[in-house]
Amino acid sequence: MKRFCPLVLVLILAISVVVGCAQNGEEGKDEFNYPTKTIKYVVPFNPGGQSDLEARRQQKPLEEKLGVNVVIENKPGGGGAVGWSELVRKDPDGYYLTGMNIPHIILQPLARENAGYETDQVNPVALFQGTPIGLAVQPDSPYNTLDEFIEAGKAKPGQITVGGSGTYSGHHITLMQLQDKTGAEFQYVPSQGAAPSVQSYLGGHVDALLANSNDLVQHQDKMKILAIGSKERFEPLPDVKTFMEQDIDMTASIDRGVAVPPETDKRIIEKLEKAFLEIAKDEEIRAQMKEEGFLPLAMGAEESKQYINEMKDKYSAILEKVQAESK
């Protein structure tokens, strides 16, 4: 028995170590218990806009997938800059999300001395919706093709007015691209939002309009759509040619997604990413988007980050050229 006691003690110690490690492992797993409370989902635009409507469409599915309440809050201002400025200063605890729009989060820091945030601080979780931008003219316009419109912009530089939503926005940069690619020159007339720009066009206050795909679909009987900024033919507008089909090498879109503050734990991002992508891939939701005139997307965090970096390089080059030519 005296010989047996040391062996028993060794076995007991070994078992204790194994059990202890297992318990520590379980405790480590339990330490990451997210989410456990209400998540605030901020929309940096007015209620009723597409960013707001999309967040509210996601609200219930998010609550079901994450197991907590999701509260939508609107914080408009500065074309989204107010909301993104606040986002980058929040605690990275996973309980504060903000909708993000591309190219807005890229153009504002490039064009303004102090936008309140830098593009790299907006930490993407997912991109879930694209809105191709199209060019339309009045039904009685003398221009029936994109070529005719471009030639007129060369023959009468700055005389043809083109409406759009905001400055240094998706619409504004689209016109910059078009002018850069073709040598034509138009007069940009910005409105405070997509809806006012459409109303200005419908009222006959501008010659042409750069508009979101959903507005083009809704008002297609009141306009001649000359081109669309998607890479391929846009399903809800199958007869409208892309810019690329008409030998203008450009695409144009406003893309929507969601972001978290800088330094957010990777595990939190993965949990949120999984929920948002499951919603983005839901066939019923995708069908709704298409019917409304949108392009469903499903880009995860890393793919979204790469896409933003690519767009940043693209838009930086355009802005630098435009600013250099204006001096």
* Interval 250-264: pLDDT, tens: 999 999 999 999 999
For residues 219-247, average pLDDT:
95
Give the helix/strand (H/E) hosting 73: strand 70-74
Weakest mean pLDDT among 92-101, 102-111, 136-145: 102-111
So what's the pLDDT on residue 169?
84
The token duo for 259 is: 């972001």
Is residue 59 within 8 Å of residue 72, measured between CB atoms?
yes
User: Confidence band (pLDDT; 50, 70, 90) for 192?
Assistant: confident
Intervals of CATH 3.40.190.150 along the chain = 39-126+256-323
Element (H, E) at 9: helix 4-31
Both tokens of residue 311?
């767009």
Predicted confidence (pLDDT) per residue in 261-285, tens digit: 999 999 999 999 999 999 999 999 9
Q: Nearest-5° angle of CA 100, CA 106, CA 112?
A: 115
CATH ID of 132-252, from 3.30.565.10, 3.40.50.2000, 3.30.70.890, 3.40.190.10? 3.40.190.10
Q: Which residue has the higher pLDDT, 317 or 192?
A: 317
Average pLDDT, the chain: 89
Q: pLDDT per residue over 150-171, tens digit each? A: 999 999 999 999 999 888 888 9
**Backbone conformation region of residue 293, classed left if phi is above 0, alpha if psi is from -120 to 50, else beta:** left
Whether the predicted pLDDT of 11 surpasses 80 = no
Q: Choose the most confident range, by mean pLDDT, from 48-57, 268-277, 313-322.
A: 268-277
What is the reported pLDDT for 54? 94
Look up the CATH superfamily of 39-126+256-323. Answer: Bordetella uptake gene, domain 1 (3.40.190.150)
Q: Please, which residues have CB within 8 angstroms of residue 320's CB and are 6 or more apart in sequence? A: none
Q: List, in sequence order, the alpha helices (H) in 67-222.
A: 81-87, 104-111, 146-155, 170-182, 194-202, 213-218
Which of 199, 227, 198, 208 has the alpha carbon at shortest distance from 159? 208
- Domain boundaries for CATH 3.40.190.10 within the chain: 132-252
Is pLDDT at 209 greater than 70 in this prediction? yes
Structure-token pair, residue 81: 């800059």
